[in-house]
Structure 1
Amino acid sequence: MALTDIKVRTTKPLDKPFKLTDGQGMHLLINPNGSKYWRLQYRFEGKQKVLALGVYPMVSLGEARR
């Protein structure tokens, strides 16, 4: 299920880092200190890679999807 801006804004941190997935490899990593990072997971030449897209709220949900 795709993320919504309300879900991103209102999600509270837990004791361990966790991900809110948006689809097609994109997710929001939420750390225990409350920081939120947009990440994109993909494969290149058979290896798993992660691309950092930015920090929420400096990079919005719409910007991360572009």
Structure 2
Amino acid sequence: MTLTDVQIKAEAPGGVRRRVSDGGGLLLEIDPAGGKYWIWRHRYPPSKDGKQQDYRIGPYPKISLKKARQIRDEQRKRMLIEGINPCAAKRQEKVERFTSESSSSINRTCGYFSGLAATCRAAAVTRRLR
């Protein structure tokens, strides 16, 4: 049975974390605090022997039912056609995003201080940094 937006809004938090199925492995996880999160449960490699994995799509209502279904379908297509593990690919993207953000902030900081060193306050700044 597929979910509707009205059913999702009507789901109230309970005493324990629970999951409501939309079909095709798409689940809505409802935690006791009231948060709702989309999860796609799949097997990788896609066979009976594959390991079961949960791909966290994101929170509801930030990610709508329609968008969650689209993401599930895109990830399933990538997994079946390209042979890419969706969970590992998401982890790798996160690592790359973090390293690029941290390196760019380091470059901005170094550029700022090297610009200060060229000004008349270079001596004062150098003393403070030591």
TM-score by length of 1: 0.97
The 4+ residue runs of structure 1 with deviation greater than 2 A are none
Extract unaligned runs of 5+ from structure 1.
none
Give the structure with higher Rg (CA): 2
Distance 1:64 1:50 in 2: 14
Partner residue in 2 for 1:34: 34
Query: Which of 57, 61, 67 matches 1:63?
Result: 67
Which has a greater percent of helix? 2
Once superposed, what is the RMSD of the aligned Cα atoms?
0.6
Residue 14 of structure 1: SS of its match in structure 2? coil
Extract unaligned runs of 5+ from structure 2.
71-130
1:10 deviation in Å?
1.2
Partner residue in 2 for 1:51: 55
Distance 1:5 1:23 in 2: 14
1:21-56 deviation line (CA, Å, top 9, x unaligned)? 000100000000000000000000310001011100
Partner residue in 1 for 2:89: none
